Amino acid sequence: MNILVCIKQVPDLESTLAIDPDAKWILEDDTLKFRINHFDAFALEEAIRIKESFPDVTIDALSVGPARVDDVLKHAISVGVHDGIHILTEEGGYMPPHMTATLIAEYAASKSYDLILAGVMAEDDMLYQVGPMTAALLDIPCATSVIKEQLNPENRTIAVDCEMEGGMTEQVELTLPALLTIQSGINHPRYPSLSNVLRANSQKRILIHTDTAEAPGQREKVLSLALPEKSSKGVMLDGTPEEKAEMLLKIFHEKSFLK
């Protein structure tokens, strides 16, 4: 059985974020740090657990982005992935979900993956689209926000529990090949082992060059990006409780909260 895990490199939220001069994305300078997308770490761990439960399972990790993305693929290998596939783009910046999904699907279509896993969403743009779009392009079934799965290799099926609103869950069974987007909390991602760290440092990644200017899937673009406006400051009321109550009522009337 062959498993593909789609992972993304995102800015570290502990870094100071600034908007680039063109107001199209965040400014990527020497002070900005990157790491693996939080949700993708759970997908990565789930793939490794499947590998530990069933024999003859191989896992590939794939990421789309500039040269710095190699770091997250190295991390994937250091926790147990067999190979890392890097779809290399010319530069960083915002990449629309449909373009990312198209590049992933073009690669996966030429392989024999039985199962594709991805995080439920990306931390930087907070979208839930790459996984389902990839499944649609590959014409395979998809389940999202998966919190539990049970693989049946003999019947070529996988049963999953999907998280829904209001604390409800949905149980579905998919025929392989299939794609799952994994919800956080399904497992506890492991730390890299020393032997796998050494392997990751020496093992070359599979590099695929692409020109995003000519790549299909460009259906939207960022018009502008801005930091949230600062909210108005609070007002401190002085005086006796009765005076404060009168001032508060006056403010409520002025703001049309009371009539």
Neighbour-count burial for 108-145, b at 16+ CB within 10 Å, e otherwise: beeeebbbbbbbbbbbbbeebbbbbbbbebbebbbbbb
The three-state (H, E, C) secondary structure of 108-154, written as one string:
HHCCCCCEEEEECCCCCCCCCCHHHHHHHHHCCCEEEEEEEEEEECC
pLDDT for position 21 = 78
Average pLDDT, stretch 226-232?
78
Count of positions (residues) in the chain: 259
CA-nearest of 73, 88, 3 to 37 is: 73
> pLDDT above 90 covers what percent of the chain?
64
Could you give all domains of the chain from N- to C-terminal order, each with its CATH number? 2-209 (3.40.50.620)
pLDDT band of 114, cuts 50, 70, 90: very high
Dist. CA 135–CA 146, nearest whole Å: 15
Tell me the pLDDT band of 62, cut-offs 50, 70 and 90.
very high
Any bridge partners for residue 58, and if so which? 2
Q: What's the pLDDT at 55?
A: 85
Peptide bond just before 177 cis, omega within 30 deg: yes
CB 158 within 8 A of CB 149: yes
Query: How does pLDDT run across 29-56, given as a tens digit for each residue?
Result: 888 899 999 999 999 999 999 999 998 9
Stretch among 6-20, 51-65, 73-87, 120-134 having the lowest mean pLDDT: 6-20
Q: Residue 167: pLDDT above 70?
A: yes
Closest CA to 54 of 146, 203, 158, 143: 158
Band the pLDDT of 258: cuts 50, 70, 90: confident
Give the rounded percent of residues in the chain with a pLDDT score beyond 70: 97
Has residue 71 got a pLDDT over 90?
yes
The pTM of this model reads 0.84
Phi-psi region of 145 (alpha: psi -120 to 50; beta: other; left: phi over 0): left
Task: With cut-offs at 50, 70 and 90, classify the pLDDT of residue 215.
Answer: low
